[in-house]
Structures are given as C-alpha cells and as structure tokens.
Amino acid sequence: MEIVYYFDNDLNLCPVKKYIEDYLPITSGRNLAIITNIDEKIRHIQENPCKPAGFISKLHGYNSIEIKHRKDKDIVIRILYFIHGRKIVLLNAFEKPDNYKKRIEKELDKYYLLADIYIEKFKKTPNFYEEYK
Amino acid sequence: MKNINKNIRTASDPIAEARKNKNFLLYSKTARVTVRLAAEVYEKRKQREWTQIRLAKEIGTTQKVVSNIEGADVEIGIGLLKRLVDGLTLTTDDLGSIFESGTVLLNFNSTAATKNWSKDSVVSGYANKSANSIK
C-alpha cells in the first residue's frame, strides 16, 4: 500500500501535511514524539490495512477512518484517511478536546463532512496527491 | 513526484524533514514498540472477548490505562508489561514481533524445549552467551 497526502486544488495545499508542518521545526522532544508516533501509526496501517486497532476508529455515518493520538491530557489529534485502491489517502487532521460541549461537537462534525467532500473530490481527480515519505 | 498537477507547489514532506533530526530514529523505535504493543494488546483482548475493564481487573490497573496502552499513547513500565504478558499470555513470538528482537529469546526457547532445560538453566545459558558475546 502507498501512503499519500490528499491535495486540495481549491486550497492549494495538503491538509494533513499542513497540520504536521505545524510541529516543525522540531524544537522539543515532545514535538518529535508526536510526529514519530503519528508516523508509526500510519506505517502500521500501511502494513496492516484491514486490521483493527485501538488507535483507529471507523466513523459512524461518515466514509473516513480516523487515527487517534493523544497530544495532551485533554486533547486528541485525529487524522482522517480512506483507502482507495492501493492507496491510503490522508485527508484531514484536527485536534479534538476530550470533554466538549454541543456547540463544539457541531464544529467537529464539519471536519468529518469535509473529509467526505475530499473523498469525493479525490475520486474525481485521483492524481491530486503528494507522496508521504 | 507522482503528482501530475503542475499547479502544486508545496513544501517538502514534513516527515522527511523531521527525519533529519538526530533523535528521530531513537524516538521512532520507541514509537514503533508502543504501536506494536498497542495492536497486540487490542488483538489479544478481542480474542478473549474481554472489555477494557475486564483486562484492567486482570492486570491490576484501570480502564483508562488499558485505553491509553491500546491507543499507543503511553510508554509503560516493566512491571505493567510483565502483568500484560501474564494476563494475556503473550508468547515469545508475540514479544519478538513487538520488540523486533525475538531471535535470541526464540532460540533459547526452542533449545530449552529440545534439551528439556529448566527455566533457571535457560537464564544461566543466556547469561553465559551474553558474557561470551561481550568477550
């Protein structure tokens, strides 16, 4: 399986790549730990694409799958992806607080809806991606 | 670059950038073990049809800790690892795949089984082999 970043032509960027870039340049061990942990989780999915794990969730009512990584005591990083043929397509990433209210829940739903839009866009233009190295 | 869209002009891959850090390999190895342990614990627990609460009771911890282990969000200590090994009956094969260093363990396990060695003699055999390899 090949891992790729979804490229959004309207935004002119890869949302997941943009999110990970926020941890660069690496100025602390904490940032390096976050990046390496996310990287290893993605690589684990590459090696075991159909195997369920505690850090992966299939989303109810949405077409993307999420990778979870606890950033802080109360914040979890969510990376949304989907599998298209032989590609694992990284769609979007965001941070979700553990204890959130209804208003925030609606805002978070937007990320999942957006990921579904990205899936449809990718299916129409499957060459719009960048390699994950 | 497989991307055929000529308009795409984004920065280099952030993971590739992070890999230039001198500590990347060290952190990466730790993360790999944490992720593999997480996957193994999740799989074994599901095979037993246990909830996280049940596993937590078996190994004397809390559901939150089990959730963090399965989420690969925590590096656990040797005491908890031992309890996980016992609670989920993890084999040397399982540990070998988690730590990517099962060869010696597996060799001793099969040698011990063939020669009918006791646990103590395996430990002393391992110590001798280690001492010899240092020499």
Mean pLDDT value across residues B99-118: 54
> What's the rounded Cα separation, in Å, for the pair A28 and A35?
11
Q: How far apart are CA A53 and CA A56, in angstroms?
A: 5
Q: Which of A36-40, A105-109, B12-16, B113-117 has the highest mean predicted lDDT (pLDDT)?
A: A36-40
| Residue B52 confidence (pLDDT) | 97
Q: Write out the residues of chain B at the interface with chain A, using a CB-CB cutoff of 8 A.
A: 1-5, 7-11, 13-18, 21, 23-24, 27-28, 30-32, 34-36, 38-39, 41-43, 46, 67-73
Whether A84 and A115 have beta carbons less than 8 Å apart is answered as no
Least confident range of A70-84, B8-22, B67-81: B8-22
**Residue A133 contacts B, CB cutoff 8 Å:** yes
Weakest-pLDDT range from A10-24, B46-60, B61-75, B117-131: B117-131
Tell me the shortest Cα–Cα distance from B27 to chain A, in angstroms: 6
Nearest CB to A24 within list B8, B18, B32: B18
Q: Which residues contact A68 (CB under 8 A, 6 or more apart)?
A: A55, A56, A57, A76, A77, A78, B71
Percent of chain B whose predicted confidence (pLDDT) is above 90: 49
Q: Do B109 and B119 contact (CB within 8 A), yes or no?
A: no
Counting as low any pLDDT under 50, the low residues of chain A are none
Mutation target for A interface from B4, B17, B30, B100: give the one with most A CBs within 10 A: B17
User: Is A44 in CB contact (< 8 Å) with chain B?
Assistant: yes
Prediction ipTM score = 0.89
DSSP state of B53: H
